[in-house]
Amino acid sequence: MEIWPAFMLLSKTRFWKQLGIWVIVQNYNSILTLSHLYRSSDALLVHENDAVHKICAKLMNIKQISFRDINQVLAHQLGSVFQPTYSGEGSFHYRRNPLGDLMENLVPHPEFKMLGVRNIPQMSENSLAYSTFTWAGLLKHLRQMLISNAKMEEGIDWQVRPPLSGLPTRGKMSLNKESHFNTSIANLVILRGKDVHSAELGAFKDPALYTSWLEPVHAFSVWKTQRAFSKYEKSAALVSNSQFLVKPLDTIVGKAWNMFASKAYIHQYTKFGIEEEDFLDSFTLLEQVIASYCNLGF
């Protein structure tokens, strides 16, 4: 996963000469940027570049993937969340403050700010012409994407199951295991399209999906509209505050730590006023974020 930095250490005219260094220090840039954003933001809606690239290749069937293709997938994901929806069941008024509603539904504690987006279906126009969907099928796949931490419909691990009720290890996450149940703090499902009011969402209200300190009635929300999104007759988006980012974030922090321990490329930062203490502050904050998400449910 890459998290693009909010600042550039190199001037535009020197960028291509220094591209090799830029790639090497991207983990530094990621931890510095993300820690700063975490301190100054109420929530972070995170997209993983590697996951978006796979969506382009495997779901959209794009052979030569460009930045435009990646941006179109990102725009689709954001549009599926922020296009208008009704403010409540049976309402004829669209919600006027979707960002505020998103915060209210998904960020119940200021220590947990990481939000991820999943969409279903997502495919090329050629494939869409020969496809039909049911709400039951879409939501079954979307729920399994959530609990198995799959970023797209292809390659879902159907072996992952919610833990049995009452087991104390429900929220504990092992970073060494390939597959793990993805515990959530809160989830928001957004449904758009035909017969949307017939969709059954009980499976997303299962207490086993959530941390023990928040009741499912407060942890799960749904937004709806009968207006179709893009060219999909039925579509669903899931915005989740969960453990989805723990493994990639732990990998980034680990690689950055290894470089920092040997003082590699630190001089590239100190000459621009970024001191070693800034790195240490970033490591401390992000390691606390990782630990907090790892221990959901305890």
Is the pTM of the predicted complex or chain greater than 0.85? yes
What pLDDT digit, counting tens, does each position of 71-103 carry?
999 999 999 999 999 988 777 889 999 999 999
**Listed residue (198, 245, 239) closest to 219, CA to CA:** 239
Q: Can you give the pLDDT at residue 27?
A: 93
The pLDDT value given to residue 173: 53
144 and 150 Cβ atoms separated by less than 8 Å = yes
Span 162-200, pLDDT tens digits? 987 645 444 455 554 445 899 999 999 999 999 999 999
Please give the pLDDT value at position 5. Answer: 33
Domain locations in the chain as residue ranges: 43-157+181-247
Query: Which residues have a Cβ under 8 Å from the Cβ of 193 and sit 6 or more positions away?
Result: 226, 227, 228, 229, 232, 233, 234, 235
Distance of CA 106 to the CA centre of its chain: 12
Decide the pairing of beta strands 184-193 and 220-225. Answer: parallel
**Predicted local confidence at residue 98, as pLDDT:** 92
pLDDT mean across residues, the chain: 87
Give me the pLDDT at residue 18, please.
Answer: 44
The CATH code for residues 43-157+181-247 is 3.40.50.1440
Averaged pLDDT for residues 108-130:
90
**Residues 6 or more apart whose Cβ sits within 8 Å of residue 38:** 44, 113, 285, 286, 289
Average pLDDT in the 15-41 region?
77
Residue 280: the pLDDT is 97
Closest CA to 3 of 50, 54, 66: 50
pLDDT at 16: 35
The span from the CA of 293 to the CA of 114, in Å, is 9
- Position 151 pLDDT exceeds 80: yes
Helix, strand or coil, per DSSP, at residue 120: strand
Per-residue pLDDT of 153-169, as tens digits, reads 998 999 999 987 645 44
